Amino acid sequence: MSRKFNHLNRLSTSPDKILPFSPDKRYVIFSDQHKGDGSRADDFKKNAELYFSALSYYEQEGYELLVLGDSEELWENDILSIFNNYSDIIRQEIQLAPSTADGRKIRIWGNHDKEVSLKGFSQRLKDLKINLFDDVEFREAVSLGRNIFLVHGHQGRFFEDKAWRISRWAVHFIWKSIQKILNIGIDGPAENPYLRNQLEEDYYRWAKQNKRILICGHTHRAMFASLSHYHYLLRQQSLLLDKSQQDKSFSSPFNKEKLAYLEKEIHRVLQKSQGLRPPSFESIPLPCYFNSGCCGYTNGITALEMQSEAIRLIKWEKDKQRRILQEGNLQEFIYKIKTTRD
C-alpha cells in the first residue's frame, strides 16, 4: 500500500497537471474502453456503436472528455489493428478532450495502454504514418482544480505498474487465444472480487487521508460517493424501510412502489455481479472515491458527469438511453471531506 500511496502522492502534487474546473465547465469521464482488433477477443466491440452515440451526445451538450486510461487494448493488439477498427472513435475522443495551455489534447494512460507514454510508441506511429496522436499529450494523471484528482488506478501494483511488460506478454500470447476460442470476455479486476475490494479500500483510504475526491477507472466497477450502485440501492432500501416503520403514514402507495422497484433493481444487479459485499471502509463512508466503471459491460457502459456543482453516475443502456443512476452536489461532498475529522 505504501508504494501505491507514495506514487499517488507524487502525481497529485504536480502543479502542472491541474486543469480548470469553473462553473462553466462540463466534463464527462469514461475509462476502460479496451478497444481491440474487432475479433471475438475484442471486449469493446459490442459497445462501440453505443459509445460513439454517447460521445455525440456530449459533443452536442458542450462537454469535454477525459479518457481515464486503458482506452486502447495494447496488451493484446498492435496499434495499427486498433486504428483500422476504431480510428473514427479515437478521433472523436481527441476532439472532445480538454487542451493544455499550448493547445495539445490530454489523454490519461492506464496499465493496458502505458505503451503510449514511451518514446518507441511515437516512432512506431511515424513508421505507420499515423498522425492522429500528433497533437496529444499523454499524462499519467490530472487534477480538476485542487480538490479533484483523476488517475487510472493501477499505480503501485507490481505486475501492472513496474512489470507491465511481463503481464502484457502473458495476456497477448495466452489470454487472447483463450478468448478467441471460447468467445469470452473479462472485466479486469472485476473477475477477482478480493483484489477489486482491496483496491477500492486503498483508493478510499488515500482520498480520505488527503482530503480530496479521487476518481479512478481500472476496477471496472462504477462507484459513486464511495459506494457501488448495488450498495447505494441497499442503503436507499434501508432508509425507506426505517422510515416506514417509524411513521405508518409513510407507507403510501408511492413509497410502496419505490420499495418494490428497489427490491427488483437490487435483485437484477446482484444477478449480474460477482463477489459483492459492503465496503469495509466504514458504515457511512466519506463521499471521496468515485469510479467511472467501464465500457465493456454486456448491458451498456457507464460514465461520470461533472457540471457546475453536480456530479452524476450515468448508465448508457443498450437502447442508447442515458440513465442517471446517482447524482449529488459536488461542493457539498468536498465540504464534507474537508471538514470531517478522522
pLDDT interval class at 50 (50, 70, 90)? very high
Task: Classify residue 39 as exposed, middle or buried by CB count within 10 Å of its CB (0-12, 13-18, 19+).
Answer: middle
* DSSP codes of every residue in 57-117: HHHHTT-EEEEBS--B-TTTS-HHHHHHHHHHHHHHHHHHS-B-TTSPEEEE--STTGGGG
Residue 244 or 48, more confident: 48
The pLDDT, as a whole number, for residue 94 is 97
Q: For the chain, count helices (H), then strands (E).
A: 10, 14
pLDDT interval class at 279 (50, 70, 90)? low
Given a cut of 60, whether residue 278 has pLDDT beyond it is no
Whole-angstrom distance, CA of residue 149 vs CA of residue 212: 7
Whole-angstrom distance, CA of residue 147 vs CA of residue 3: 22
Q: Are strands 322-329 and 300-307 parallel, antiparallel or unpaired?
A: unpaired
* CA atoms 265, 271, 274, 278: torsion sign: positive
Q: Hey, what's the cell of 162?
A: 513496474
Task: Identify the residue whose cell numbers are 507491465.
Answer: 164
Contact 187, 219 (CB under 8 A): no
3-state secondary structure 115-149: HHHCHHHHHHHHHCCCCCCCCEEEECEEEECCCEE
113's CB contacts (< 8 A; 6+ apart) are: 69, 70, 71, 72, 73, 74
Q: Give the pLDDT confidence of 72-122 residue by residue, as tens digits.
A: 999 889 999 999 999 999 999 999 999 998 999 999 999 999 889 888 888
Q: Hey, what's the cell of 251?
A: 407507507
Q: CATH classification of 2-226+279-335, choosing from 3.30.420.40, 3.60.21.10, 1.20.210.10, 3.30.300.30?
A: 3.60.21.10
Instruction: Tell me how long the chain is.
Output: 342
Given a cut of 70, whether residue 168 has pLDDT beyond it is no
Q: Are strands 310-317 and 300-307 parallel, antiparallel or unpaired?
A: antiparallel
Given a cut of 80, whether residue 68 has pLDDT beyond it is yes
Q: Work out the percent of the chain whose per-residue pLDDT is above 70.
A: 83
The model carries a pTM of 0.84
The pLDDT, as a whole number, for residue 250 is 62
Sheet containing 289-291: which strands, arranged edge to edge?
A: 18-19, 141-144, 148-151, 213-216, 289-291, 223-224, 227-228
Q: Give the pLDDT confidence of 303-312 residue by residue, as tens digits.
A: 999 998 999 9
Using the 8-state DSSP alphabet, how is residue 297 labeled?
A: B
17's CB contacts (< 8 A; 6+ apart) are: 11, 139, 141, 142, 143
* DSSP codes of every residue in 312-328: EEEEEETTS-EEEEEEE
Task: Classify residue 119 as exposed, middle or buried by CB count within 10 Å of its CB (0-12, 13-18, 19+).
Answer: exposed
Given a cut of 50, whether residue 246 has pLDDT beyond it is yes
Q: For the ranges 36-40, 146-150, 193-197, 269-273, which has the lowest average pLDDT? A: 269-273
Q: Give the pLDDT confidence of 196-205 residue by residue, as tens digits.
A: 888 899 999 9
Domain ranges of the chain: 2-226+279-335
The pLDDT, as a whole number, for residue 232 is 81
Using the 8-state DSSP alphabet, how is residue 295 labeled?
A: S
Distances, alpha carbon 175 to alpha carbons 172, 182, 224, 291, in Å: 6, 11, 31, 26
Helices 79-96 and 48-60 pack at an angle, to 10 degrees, of: 20
Average pLDDT, the chain: 84
Q: Hey, what's the cell of 17?
A: 497537471
